[in-house]
A and B are shown apart, each in its own frame.
Chain A
Amino acid sequence: KQEVTQIPAALSVPEGENLVLNCSFTDSAIYNLQWFRQDPGKGLTSLLLIQSSQREQTSGRLNASLDKSSGRSTLYIAASQPGDSATYLCAVTDQGGSEKLVFGKGTKLTVNP
């Protein structure tokens, strides 16, 4: 059974700092990995999608890496801003039939002005 873990559960940083969020998964048989952002009480916004054959993806100040063999991904946020404050969720698309997403519990990020 696929399990996804995100560390840390919460992170508070001053504005301008570079930071890394971590995600690990137990079964390397995945199609892809997605990072999402969730604002309080809202739906999920897709940030980056990394296919299982890829090593990293970049979008603006965000860079996500994937090491499938070790079951790890990182989300790097450069020059953090208060508007980056949100919960960041990592999810893998399982190969087990229905291509469902298996999520971690998220990392709650607070960027202080």
Chain B
Amino acid sequence: ETGVTQSPTHLIKTRGQQVTLRCSSQSGHNTVSWYQQALGQGPQFIFQYYREEENGRGNFPPRFSGLQFPNYSSELNVNALELDDSALYLCASSLIGHLNTEAFFGQGTRLTVV
């Protein structure tokens, strides 16, 4: 158990809809990162939030957005869903500014867009 929880675990949406995924970070961690993992691929960095501000973004369009709350939990929002958005979405929490910046992952949310 990593202490990082994601909800929901599975989700089916229709193309064009919007979705919100949630993540509760590990106690004591100040940073949340989101990753998209397509089938058979390694996870790809979407963005990171540190102290409620976006702290880096990968090669994803603006319809992928996020929030981090004062308790360090986070949301990933995706607008105008496309079929290629079908993937496992992973949330990772870590402690930036600490030497041992080990990242701990949640169990993921499997999103299927039909």
Q: List 21 A-B contacts (CB under 8 A).
A: A31-B101, A34-B103, A41-B110, A42-B107, A42-B108, A43-B2, A44-B90, A44-B92, A45-B105, A46-B2, A91-B43, A97-B56, A98-B33, A99-B96, A100-B33, A100-B45, A100-B58, A101-B35, A103-B35, A103-B43, A105-B41
CB distance from A105 to the nearest CB of B (A): 5
**A51 and B33 alpha carbons, distance in the complex (Å):** 20
Residue of B nearest to A93 (CB): B101
A49 at interface by CB-CB < 8 Å: yes
Return chain A residues, CB-CB under 8 Å to B42: 4, 89, 91, 103-106
Task: Name A's B-contacting residues (CB within 8 A).
Answer: 4, 31-32, 34, 36, 41-46, 49, 51, 89, 91, 93, 97-106
Count A-B contacts at CB 8 Å: 75
- Which of A93, A97, A98, A105 gathers most chain B CB within 10 Å? A98
Q: Is the CB of B103 within 8 A of A98?
A: no
A102 to B35, CA, bound (A): 10
Given A43-B107, A44-B90, A44-B105, A105 contacting B48 (CB threshold 8 A):
no
